Structure 1
């Protein structure tokens, strides 16, 4: 089925955009966990990142030699390239979950495991060396980041870091400037349909706004300029305790399927008028480890009948009229917040771009598939828009790279909790929150 154009008394026609998906890199072919080691994805990451950093070193510090960890000489300045590993005294240990003798509870906030005594080491194929100095802050970096370091070996056998080279923002295609017309993309996440606190009326208001069935002539004309809707994860919430491996009673089966049926009804209304991408999230009925594969189309018999409906990977990468979008349902940024520190979520997002890696904590603390020949989370091309879903609040920032790259960072809040969707204008990358409320005060 084709999408129905916006049809009001003024015969408004919905604008169109050219869509191209780049999710092939996140596709898992012939899934296999037998005999595969996570060391292979680290090796693939180091190989591609080291090649990149080697190409940047001549314009950074061409007068210094590049050494391996094993080839370090005491007091001799050089550059080493490798993968960082962070020793964290508060990092949870899986063995503790099974220990009956655990009595000491670490004095730490439950959402963050950093500690002033955390230490960084750098590792390559030849060995590892402890890093010292004030340049490289353990609170900023995480295990899995690949960097180049300028410094020298001390008498104690440590490497005193004097400077650091990160990969930086990758090359970016030029932002299209040939259009003066507004085209909007609407981002939503955390619908949590099935949660007792979610408000169906609130979501219906959102659907009516997107499809042009809400507001006056001006609002409908704006709705006609919406060319894409992206739902970034956690669309449903299955009641805890239902999925415990036991055979479900008929009433439990109904409780399991009801949220998905309700979601399909809402998605059908959107897909009937607007192209729609839906990504899996940690609470959705999909594989848990990254990259999450698309939610099965059989879950959406109504909306999948439209060719505007797309069930997509998480992470998700696509072009709209040559504007590049890249985003996740939030797991990569939430995990960074647990094992490092920043002033806000946008800073975590910026770090992943400058490290050229979407999920640097995978597979150490963030589950991912054990790829053997590549690291799909390496960022080859710089997006114009980088979004993450299921955050506490709406935040946005425009950042710039050393080669003139411009990226709009967007944190999409959980809709069920905030009633907030995010609208982005593709013409100028301007962004604003769209708030929907069902409670009115006198």
Structure 2
């Protein structure tokens, strides 16, 4: 499969058993799912080992589970698919998966307890090391939105300061790099890291730790509620997060991975999902430095599985029976057009930037202004929906020597100018 300048993939949700498939691992089922994915012309998958299944005791990483992960990666490679692996699951589709050695009688903080952190580092290193010689292994993500364990609305959060969160992330990313040097090791947060000034995981963490910046774009965060399914801001949300992340990056060329984006009903009605996908992807492709897009998700969740939030059941590109939806066709079409060169990427430099002030650059206590409904969010959306192509620059960095020039920014506009 030829590679486009931007990668297109999907977050792999096994059709049989969802992520519980690790308990009854069947490689033939995985192969069939990967055949579906490859049929769309996608080039990678992101996969999710369940932490308590792989590391049921602090000093035990199950060899058989690691072998199954390696077999999965090899099966993907046979179909031309590269694989990114998330380690600490952690949190998936409203369910938490924590090993018994950090809960109840063994309750320990997963971010700050020294024994827990060292066990996490060993676990991630073991997975990375087992895959280090696989040519289609992209790298490790520390875990899926593990920041959600650190504060509200989690019912039993593991409290951590921003400084401690930064140390934790750096330690675990370093463990992955030591075990599999040169791969794209990173971490991910859900968008509260960009939008809530009280959250200990910050934009600086996202944009400065790891090989690239991951953003997760979900329009049920108030964007679709405020602007509607067909509103310009709804289709621009992913692009906004990509551009927002660059305001904190120290390297202007730091790649950004749109690691999760999906079409959640009813916020995006099923009949509009394909149009939403195309609009979202075209807007994201207009951002320089986009490494790739990984749609959420590959297959619908079976209705035989209970207690998922309603929107989680229907997010797949494929139905439970393995039939591609119109949504799958939309994603596949954009990937093909980019691969064939009929969609030109990367985009030209964005020469105008909106100046935003989230307070202190590292802790960003005023992140609420960046959130849907916030003055910075709405100002950027007015510029972008009016035909502009705004970047974002932090107020504290406007005067930083070389910062604007290094990003190709020639003009800055303040929020107050747009009111």
Which TM class, normalised by the smaller chain length? 0.3 to 0.5
More strand per residue: 1
Q: Could you state the TM-score of these two structures normalised by the residue count of structure 1?
A: 0.31
Q: Could you state the TM-score of these two structures normalised by the residue count of structure 2?
A: 0.33
Greater RCO, 1 or 2 (C-alpha within 8 Å, sep 6+): 1
Q: Which has the larger radius of gyration?
A: 1
